[in-house]
Amino acid sequence: MAEEKTTPAAEENQEAQVAQPTEQVQNPAEFLENFNWEKYEQGIERVADSKLQEFEQMVSENFVDTADEEVVEGKVIHLTEREAIIDINAKSEGVISLNEFRYNPDLKVGDTVEVLIDIREDKNGQLVLSHRKARTIMAWDRVNAAHDKEEIVNGFVKCRTKGGMIVDVFGIEAFLPGSQIDVKPIRDYDQYVGKTMEFKVVKINHEFKNVVVSHKALIEADIEEQKKEIISQLEKGQVLEGVVKNITSYGVFIDLGGVDGLVHITDLSWSRINHPNEVVELDQKLNVVILDFDDNKSRIQLGLKQLEKHPWDALGDEIKIGDQVKGKVVVIADYGAFIEVAEGVEGLIHVSEMSWSTHLRSAQDFVKVGDVVDAVVLTMDREERKMSLGIKQLTPDPWTDITTKYPVGSRHKGIVRNFTNFGVFVEMEEGIDGLIYISDLSWTKKVKHPSEFVNVGDTLEVEVLELDVDGRKLSLGHKQTTENPWDKYEQEFALGSSHNASILEVVDKGATVQLNEDIVAFVPSRHMEKEDGSKLKKGEAAEFKIIEFSKDFKRVVASHTAVFREEEQRNIKAAQRKAAAAADEAKPTLGDANEALMALKAKMEADSKKK
């Protein structure tokens, strides 16, 4: 076989081939694009093991394992109206609904976001990712870290809820209590909705996945140093500027720049007020004076009225004892009423100075709050700042000519005003009251309490029994206006008189009988016995004899037994007198004996004829 000759050109080609490497490294993307998967799966084209190992290494180094449930970062490569296309270096891009990015309306292509592989391959072969789940997982790690390290976090106030607000912190809905929004009370929660604010994570409940945040904690930390500085400089009598922080029924809380003080309602104004909101309003700036504070200066008592001159000091000498003044009723008590005669200057009208009547009533019977009344200055103590007033002094004293109007023995009409256990108070006129003792109400009725006899408001005719001008006491009687019926009854029901009546009631030790409309007589038990030995019963009519009558004590005692026993005594005495007379006539004579014998003989003959 002839030996082949090699040309110079051929030799160059051979040298070049020897110089080239036996294997050329390809770009992974180019390799994947040119690789024939169909031939490989059908076994038509076999790939060397070294090639496969090289490919697996490149995939593990450059692509994400979609089977791992971990949070990875992806890049937004495209945005549609409803979805975001995210590249996470997987075999395919993933999709996420734009609803998961509502918190970030500025999302744009090229942004890096955290995602979690939700579905490796849906029915369309698409990789489905979740940004919300990724944010939740990462958020819990961030929230826990912020809580442990006491870091300040940003949160978006989403909406109001019962008792506070809902705040989005790292994608987690945290609760912001209303008391933790600010150091001062919040009146308008809606002003915070839609705002991004700084918060501090104060509590985490891992069991229920609850997070509580506070904005107040940050403010308190900022003002704590200011508070210490302010407290260290506080002195009694010091005047400071503050802002009305809260208004209650008992006072006003003032913010002194991180330190709160209380102005009690009594220290707001020299005049009486019903509620602090009559003097101040929320967020109002005003000057206050420090009145007192405790040892650690945590409770500070402030005053507002003390910055003004006391009204008593400004009163001057224009008001003196005996002057007539006009004022408004500001307070009513049972014992009297307080009248404001000038701003911050009050006087007391005691109930005894409201009427000349000695029978005291409540001050509410004369005046009510808001009334404007005239009064006379009775006493004044400028050092003690006290003044007493009187209303009754504006009218003449009705007791001045009492002896002329109400002499003893005169009769008048009065109005029943009040009861006591011992009598009735009757008003003769305004300022003049008289007392009727219970024993002077009726001649005949035994009154246990005045309410059994009259009612409040009734008009009674009375007679003046006694008059004490110095003691301003008037003793009256009602029964004295009528004739005493016991004078007439003393003759009608005299001892030994008999009357027919029925047993009214059986009582202890006897019974009662109604002799007339005024007199109820008592029948002792031993005087209830009838002639046959039985006793009278309730409702049984019989004849009774009066055995006792007392006009002074209004006591009448009757007896039924005395009626027939007296008759028995009369019959016995009559029988005795008749027997004595018969004895005198019974002395026999001879003629009488003959007449008797003849009569006996005639009777015997008549009897024999009949036989």
The confidence band for 477, taking pLDDT boundaries of 50, 70 and 90, is very high
Task: Give the DSSP per-residue string, 203-226.
Answer: EEETTTTEEEEESHHHHHHHHHHH
CA–CA distance, 244 with 255 (Å, rounded to integer): 6
Query: Which pLDDT value is given to residue 29?
Result: 63
Calpha distance 313→303 (Å, rounded): 18
3-state secondary structure 429-471: ECCEEEEEEHHHCCCCCCCCCHHHCCCCCCEEEEEEEEEECCC
Average pLDDT over residues 232-259: 86
Global pTM reads 0.42
Nearest C-alpha neighbor of 300 from the set 268, 259, 270: 259
The answer to which of 218-227, 324-333, 429-438, 442-451 has the lowest mean pLDDT is: 218-227
Q: Tell me, what's the pLDDT at 123?
A: 65
Residue 24 — pLDDT band, cuts 50, 70, 90? Answer: low
Question: Distance (Å, rounded) from C-alpha 313 to C-alpha 510?
Answer: 80
pLDDT at residue number 465: 93
pLDDT higher than threshold 80 for residue 58 = no
User: Is 348 or 62 the better-scoring residue by pLDDT?
Assistant: 348
Q: Please tell me the predicted confidence (pLDDT) of residue 20.
A: 45
Over residues 510-554, the pLDDT tens digits come to 999 988 877 889 999 888 888 888 888 888 899 898 888 887 777
Rounded alpha-carbon distances, angstroms, from residue 205 to 144, 145, 171, 450, 514: 10, 14, 17, 76, 91
Q: Specify the range with the lowest mean pLDDT, choosing from 282-286, 337-341, 437-441, 589-593.
A: 589-593
453 contacts 442 by C-beta, under 8 angstroms: yes
Contacts of 540 (CB under 8 A, 6+ apart): 502, 503
Mean pLDDT of 492-506: 87
The b-or-e profile of 125-144 (16+ CB within 10 A means b, else e) is eebebbbbbbbbbbbbebbe
Over range 37-42, report the average pLDDT. Answer: 64
Predicted local distance difference test score (pLDDT) of residue 535: 87
Position 604 scores a pLDDT of: 65
Element (H, E) at 489: helix 486-492
pLDDT tens string 325-339: 899 998 888 889 999
Q: Of the ranges 80-84, 491-495, 588-592, which one carries the lowest mean pLDDT score?
A: 588-592
Q: What percentage of the chain's residues is helix, strand, coil (to nearest 5)?
A: 30, 35, 35
Q: Which of 437, 420, 440, 448 is nearest to 359 (CA)?
A: 420
Mind listing the domains of the chain with CATH numbers? 26-54 (no CATH), 71-134 (2.40.50.140), 150-219 (2.40.50.140), 233-307 (2.40.50.140), 324-394 (2.40.50.140), 402-481 (2.40.50.140), 486-566 (2.40.50.140)
Instruction: Please give the full DSSP string across 146-199, using - where no structure is assigned.
Output: HHHHT-EEEEEEEEEETTEEEEEETTEEEEEEGGGS-SS--S-GGGGTT-EEEE
Q: In the predicted model, what is the mean pLDDT of the chain?
A: 80
Contact between 70 and 115 (Cβ < 8 Å)? no
